């Protein structure tokens, strides 16, 4: 069975109450429960993990007890070379998820240390983006990792 780690970074524990006009009203616990349920339907084992501390997230990745990851690094997306290096170092494919579309927000959010090493990206789809990421993994699990990444998002043309 393919094991999927869902890794959430700083402030994502506040989902549902933190800026709901940007991030929606769904809580992290609701997202996680939905992913575990959908994972069972897809034949995937889903484990979730959230921390507000960069080093703790890196330590969790270093355990390497998963086949794929879904990563919402939150603000660390724009600042953390160390998290990027950890993701490269563990050699596990991951889907980068963002509830909003960072490229449509403040200019500093256009810096993304993860996008070019992610197998896929899902941005701007709200809480549903996590489920989309899990379904992408289910389709790709067991197959060879492809170079580059696909980007699922709303309203943006690259």
Residues 119-133, buried b or exposed e (16+ Cβ, 10 A)?
A: bbbbbbbbbebbbbb
Task: Respond yes or no: is residue 115 known to be catalytic.
Answer: no
Beta strand 120-123 pairing with 68-72: unpaired
By residue count, the chain amounts to 158
What kind and span of H or E run contains 36? helix 28-42
Q: What is the Cα–Cα distance from 52 to 44, expressed in whole angstroms?
A: 26
For the chain, the C-alpha Rg in angstroms (whole number) is: 14
Which of 23, 53, 62, 130 is an active site residue?
Answer: 23
Active site residue 98: yes
Out of 62, 78, 98, 113, pick the active-site residue. 98
Known catalytic residues are 23, 98
């Amino acid at each position: 069975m393919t094991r999927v780690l869902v890794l959430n970074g700083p402030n994502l524990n506040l989902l549902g109450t933190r800026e709901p006009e940007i991030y929606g009203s769904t809580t992290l616990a609701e997202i996680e429960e939905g992913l575990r349920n959908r994972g069972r339907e897809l034949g995937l084992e889903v484990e979730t993990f959230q921390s507000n501390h960069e080093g703790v997230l890196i330590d969790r990745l270093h355990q390497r007890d998963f086949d794929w990851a879904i990563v919402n690094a939150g603000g660390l997306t724009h600042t953390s070379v160390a998290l990027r290096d950890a993701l490269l170092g563990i050699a596990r494919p991951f889907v980068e998820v963002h509830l909003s579309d960072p490229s449509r927000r403040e200019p500093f959010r256009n810096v993304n240390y993860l996008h070019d090493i992610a197998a896929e990206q899902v941005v701007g789809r709200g809480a549903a983006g996590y489920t989309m990421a899990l379904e992408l993994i289910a389709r790709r699990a067991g197959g060879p990792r492809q170079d580059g990444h696909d980007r699922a998002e709303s309203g943006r043309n690259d």
